[in-house]
Amino acid sequence: MQVPKRKPGKYTNLQPDPHLTEEKFNELKDKLQKLKDSHPQAAAEMRRLAELGDLSENAAYQIAKGRLRGINQRILELQDHLKRAVTISSEKNSGTVQLGCKVIVEIDGQQKTYQILGSSETDPFKGIISHNSPIGSALIGCKIGDIVKIQLKNKIVEYKIIKIG
Closest alpha carbon to 139 in 99, 109, 108: 99
Asked whether 40 and 87 are in contact (CB, 8 A), the reply is: no
Question: Distance (Å, rounded) from C-alpha 134 to C-alpha 152?
Answer: 8
Domain 19-87 in CATH 3.40.50.2000: no
Asked whether 150 and 47 are in contact (CB, 8 A), the reply is: no
Instruction: List the chain domain ranges.
Output: 19-87, 102-164
CATH topology classification for 102-164: Chitinase A; domain 3 (3.10.50)
Instruction: Provide the whole-model pTM.
Output: 0.76
- For the segment 23-66, what is each residue's pLDDT rounded down to a tens digit? 999 999 999 999 999 999 999 998 888 887 777 777 888 899 99
